[in-house]
């Protein structure tokens, strides 16, 4: 099977007054059609930048190197117009905050049919019919009435469904979901994720799910890339990652999820310290200052990406469970 998306050696930096801010370093990922990958990491680890870099939605201060192959075609050096032809019909994005990602001055119907009219050249009647069908697919009650509503009349979960309907309206093959559930409460989160899974199954859509919640990705992805300070530090099939994680950082992330069985009153484990300054290059492992297993070698030399077999890659000198 040929891959839908192949990212190789993708690096993204931003020119800032304080110098070059390296947001993503040499990321290499692949995605097959219909597959879903979770990109996990704390705030500032580069996961959003990575997904936007693939789409080509970076601000003008960003510099991007490396190769992005989409459907066997190199798209990283395509002119703007040709990349735009891929947007919507090839790749689409679901945004994090449904409160700000809808235009407050326009009705749902006109926002939903916009890309249908602009991209698929549908006439008004067909676009309206398709909009109703899309709203029905994202389980919105009374789709006809919904077309006339303004975003302020809807709750967060409803708006996120609308966002999803817009993103899938042109039948994309690859869906970027940038923290699609972060702004929602837990019960709605689960519904939205299930909805995404159903839609993907219907059309065999691949998905890049960006989140900081390892609990969210566990049930909804085929593989996971854990990012830390711009590096992909662990990359493995989802089941394998949870069964035998190698990176101390992944372990620390997992430990900081609150669980039902922890006794009342006990403190939630946190990862002490903070991310290193992204405008400075770190000599050794970027996680060294926060790692419980740190040793001298970690500070002196940056670990390369190592292979544990079965497509499990990690970036640590002293992985959990030892080197195979």
Partner 1 sequence: MSETISTADSADTGPLAPAAKRKRPVGFYLAGSWLGSIVLLGLFGALLPLRQWDLASYDYLGALPGTPGHPLGTTQDGYDMLSGLINGARISIFVSFFAVLFGGGIGALIGITSAYFRGKYDLIVVSIFNIMLSIPNLVLSLALLSTLAYSSPDKPATLQRRLIILILSLTIVIIPILGRIARASALQWSSRDFVVASKSMGTRNFTIIRRHILPNVAPAILAIGFLAIGSVIIVEGSLSILGIGVPGGASWGSMLANGRGNIAFSPHEVYMPAICIALTVISSNWFGDYVRSRLDLREAKI
Burial 217-232 (b: 16+ CB within 10 A, else e): bbebbbbbbbbbbbbb
Contact between 14 and partner 1 by CB under 8 A: the answer reads no
Contact between 148 and partner 1 by CB under 8 A: the answer reads no
Contact between 105 and partner 1 by CB under 8 A: the answer reads yes
Per CB under 8 A, the list member of 87, 242, 293, 318 interacting with partner 1 is: 87
Q: Which stretch binds partner 1 (CB under 8 A): 71-79, 154-162, 223-231, 268-276?
A: 154-162
Of the pair 100, 262, the CB lying nearest partner 1 is at 100
HSE-CB at 10 with a 13 A cutoff on CA atoms is 30
Residue 298, φ and ψ in degrees, nearest 5: -60, -35
User: Min. distance of Cβ 300 from partner 1 in angstroms?
Assistant: 41
* Angle between helical axes of 156-168 and 186-203 (0-180°, round to 10): 10
Contact between 97 and partner 1 by CB under 8 A: the answer reads yes
By CB under 8 A, the residues from 35 to 74 that bind partner 1 are: 55, 57, 60
Contact between 190 and partner 1 by CB under 8 A: the answer reads no
Compute the Cα dihedral for 254, 260, 265, 266 and give only its sign: negative
Q: Which stretch binds partner 1 (CB under 8 A): 128-136, 161-169, 189-197, 241-249?
A: 161-169
Compute the Cα dihedral for 89, 57, 174, 4 and give only its sign: positive
| Cα separations in angstroms, 108 against 126, 150, 233 | 16, 6, 41
Contact between 147 and partner 1 by CB under 8 A: the answer reads no
Positions touching partner 1 (CB under 8 A) are: 55, 57, 60, 84-89, 92-93, 95-97, 99-106, 110-111, 114-115, 118-119, 150-157, 159, 163, 166-167, 169-170, 185, 188
């Amino acid at each position: 099977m040929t891959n839908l998306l192949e990212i190789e050696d993708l690096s993204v930096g931003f020119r800032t007054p304080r110098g070059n801010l390296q947001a993503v370093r040499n990321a290499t990922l692949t995605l097959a059609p219909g597959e879903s990958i979770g990109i996990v990491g704390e705030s500032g680890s580069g996961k959003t930048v990575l997904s936007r870099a693939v789409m080509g939605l970076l601000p003008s201060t960003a510099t991007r190197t490396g190769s992005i192959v989409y459907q066997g075609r190199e798209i990283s050096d395509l002119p703007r117009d040709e990349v735009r032809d891929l947007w919507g019909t090839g790749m689409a994005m679901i945004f994090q905050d449904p409160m700000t990602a809808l235009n407050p001055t326009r009705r749902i119907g006109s926002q939903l049919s916009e890309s249908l009219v602009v991209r698929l050249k549908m006439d008004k009647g067909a676009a309206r019919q398709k909009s109703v069908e899309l709203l029905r697919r994202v389980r919105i009650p009374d789709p006809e009435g919904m077309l006339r509503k303004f975003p302020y009349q809807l709750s967060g979960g409803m708006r996120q469904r609308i966002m999803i309907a817009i993103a899938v309206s042109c039948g994309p093959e690859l869906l970027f979901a940038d923290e699609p559930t972060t702004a929602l409460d837990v019960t709605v989160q689960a519904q939205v994720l299930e909805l995404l899974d159903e839609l993907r199954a219907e059309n065999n859509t691949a998905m890049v799910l960006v989140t900081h919640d390892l609990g969210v990705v566990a049930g909804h992805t085929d593989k996971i890339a854990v990012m830390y300070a711009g590096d992909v530090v662990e990359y493995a099939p989802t089941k394998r990652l949870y069964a035998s994680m190698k990176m101390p950082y992944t372990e620390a992330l997992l430990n900081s999820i609150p669980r039902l069985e922890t006794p009342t009153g006990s403190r939630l484990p946190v990862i002490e310290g903070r991310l290193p300054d992204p405008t400075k290059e770190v000599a050794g492992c970027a996680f060294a200052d926060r790692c419980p297993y740190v040793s001298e070698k970690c500070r002196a030399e940056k670990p390369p990406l190592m292979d544990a077999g079965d497509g499990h890659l990690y970036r640590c000198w002293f992985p959990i469970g030892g080197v195979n």
